[in-house]
Structures are given as structure tokens and as C-alpha cells.
Structure 1
């Protein structure tokens, strides 16, 4: 009997993890700026964004959620002429438990390898708890924060999730306005169209648990 209950308990734990992963309405980034949310422990997300203009540029981001409220991000900036890799770290001070904002601190580009350089930041996110009935809006989040170094001052953002598996994101990243439209054809996979610093990008993200 105890063995049977242990199997049920294990299956329930796996189900909880899968639900938390498939329900990623909250991103670890808004577009480029920190969102204050971390991926769940034991999960990862790969995102690729590509532009064809001005000789082409591809961004790669790999996020890994760890225990203790820590998330690691490996990023690559790639053109025909050069390739730059960087590592970032975010720590979640206060999680979103439904009526409090999520608060995180982090370091971008720990080794100071990118053109923007190392950045330190404080990020806050708030999920609007009571949305009036609306056929176009399922959930909405507001984001904000302040940075130093590579993130030069204040940044703000917002995300709106619709009932049609479409996510709308917009932000001011302390330098420029960025936006993205994401469509989720199947759970864990998002196809994305971006406007980053006035340039058009296309890409996708894939989330997994392990």
C-alpha cells in the first residue's frame, strides 16, 4: 500500500512540475529586460531571435531554473564577423504568491564580455489580480525596475495574455522601446515576432523540464 501511495505522490509531483512549466504566462524576460520571474527549478527554456537586416544578427538565450530561487542565463550574440557569449544570474527575493509582487535582483553579463558590459539590477513584477470580464484579455502583468552599468536606469514593461494562446509584450529597456507577439501552437513552444530597437526579428522559444 505504501508503495502504491509513493507512486501516486511521485506522479502528482511530476504533474505539478509540468503544470508549472506549461503555464508559463510569466517570462524570465519581458523582451530584453528582466521580468523578476524565475523559471521553476528543474526546467529550462531556449529562445532564438534572428534579424536579417544590416548583415544579420542572431540572439540565443538559454535559461535554467535552479533550486533556491536562482536562475542562470547563458546568452550568445552572433554575427558573421563575431560571436559573444555571456552568463547572467538572477535571484528571486520575493515570489509572486497571488497578492504580492515578485522581486528579484540580478547580474547581467557577469564576466563583462558584451558591448553593454556588466549590469546590476532590481526587478519587480505584479500580476493584476482582478481583471474585469474581457473576451480579449486573460491575464496581465506589469514590470519595472532599475539598473546600473549595462542597464542604464529605469526599465518598464507589460504583458497581456489573450484567450487565443497569443501573448503581447512591450517594454522600455532603459534605451529603447521593444515589443513582441508570441503564439503558442502547442504547450511549451512559442513562435515569436519582435521589434527590438527599431529592427524586426523572428524567432521561437522552447521550454522543457528535467
Structure 2
């Protein structure tokens, strides 16, 4: 276990990038990695050897709204890598927070990953809170989406970003629940805990942005 924790720390520092909120837990959200930002996340299970890594690039053109993601999963002894594309159709800021953020995308464009190619539509909406609730909860976002093939239809989720450097998310995706927690550490470094498929994952990530 100590060796795994050391490896997580080493990978996080070496990558020098932080993950962004383009996903709820595993399901896509209506938000994308910001233009000109580079993000990554590396997760290792507390039991077993199924590792997961993601590298996200926000294409550095503000009016394009395109995010590219490389995802590597190691379910057994072979690593499966997928290229995913995530495109922002409309953001909440564009409608002055009246309408949700809307994104479309293709998972595993080259059909080389563990799950296979799938298309999807994702929405995210920030819910207005009272001043008293914002003091304690921070920001509340609700998510929904629909995906083809391996994404197995619709999903829903929620994210709470607190004022205490902690964000938590929950979703129902691929007919299964999943949960995550994110804690801001020193500087750009963040720590993560995930729970899905009856397995707990721990990891680190950092962000580089213009």
C-alpha cells in the first residue's frame, strides 16, 4: 500500500497538471476543460491492480470549445488507451446562467479503448442557492446526459463545490452508482478518492493553464 501511495505522489508531481471538472465522476458533464489548459489525473485502487489515467487538453482557441482527452485503463495486464473528443455547444455564461451548459462528444474515437466507441449528449446546470446555503454549500450543479452503445443510455449526477477546498460528486451511470471527492492541497495539487464498481480508487492531479 505504501508503495502505491508513493507512486501516486511521484506521478502527480512528474505530470505537474491538475484535473478539471469535465466529468461528474466517470460520466461526461456539460462542462469542458478550459481553452489552453492541460489537466491530468492518475488513480490506483486500494485493492487490486486496475489503474486509470486521464490527460485532458483544452484546445487553445476560446471560440472553438473543443477538449481532447486521452484515457488509459489497465483492467488486467494490458493497458487499453482511448482518444475522446468533448465539444461545448453552449455554456451557462453565454445565456447568463439561464440555460444549462450543453456538450456533445465521442468516446473512444479510434475504437481502441476498453469500452468501445460511443456518442453522447451531456448537460450541466448551476442551481441558484440562497446566500445562507451558499455560505455552507458553495456551488451546486446538476448533470444529465444520454450516450449510445457502451454508455448504456441516460445518466444523472450532482456536484457540490464547497468553500472548504472540497468538492464531492455522485452519479448514476451505466446503471451503477459512483462517487468522488476532490480536495485542494498545496498550490495546484489535488487529491482524489473515487468509489465505483465496488472498488475504491485514490489519486492525484495538477493543472497547467495559460
TM range (shorter): 0.7 to 0.9
1:96 corresponds to which residue?
92
2:57 pairs, out of 53, 64, 81, with 64
Instruction: Report the Cα distance in structure 2 between the residues aligned to 1:204 and 1:46, rounded to whole angstroms.
Output: 9
Instruction: Report the Cα distance in structure 2 between the residues aligned to 1:200 and 1:161, rounded to whole angstroms.
Output: 21
Matches within 5 A, 1:82-121: 82-97=78-93, 98-121=97-120
Instruction: Report the Cα distance in structure 2 between the residues aligned to 1:105 and 1:80, rounded to whole angstroms.
Output: 30
Greater mean deviation of Cα atoms: 107-116 or 131-140:
131-140
1:166, CA displacement in angstroms? Answer: 0.6
Question: Residues 69 and 167 (structure 1 numbering): CA distance in 2 closer, same or farther, change over 3 Å?
Answer: same
RMSD of aligned residue pairs (Cα, Å): 2.0
- What is the SS of the residue equivalent to 1:150? helix
1:31 pairs, out of 9, 25, 33, with 25
1:207, CA displacement in angstroms? Answer: 1.1
Greater RCO, 1 or 2 (C-alpha within 8 Å, sep 6+): 2
CA contact (8 A) 1:90 1:106 kept: yes
1:181 corresponds to which residue?
181
CA contact (8 A) 1:131 1:139 kept: no
Question: Residues 63 and 128 (structure 1 numbering): CA distance in 2 closer, same or farther, change over 3 Å?
Answer: same
- What is the SS of the residue equivalent to 2:112? coil
CA contact (8 A) 2:46 2:202 kept: no
1:93, CA displacement in angstroms? Answer: 0.5
Could you say which structure has the larger radius of gyration?
1
1:99, CA displacement in angstroms? Answer: 2.4
Q: Under a length normalisation based on structure 1, what TM-score does the superposition of the two structures give?
A: 0.83
Q: Under a length normalisation based on structure 2, what TM-score does the superposition of the two structures give?
A: 0.83
Instruction: Report the Cα distance in structure 2 between the residues aligned to 1:146 and 1:103, rounded to whole angstroms.
Output: 12
Greater mean deviation of Cα atoms: 200-209 or 128-137:
128-137
2:42 corresponds to which residue?
48
Instruction: Report the Cα distance in structure 1 between the residues aligned to 2:52 and 2:114, rounded to whole angstroms.
Output: 14
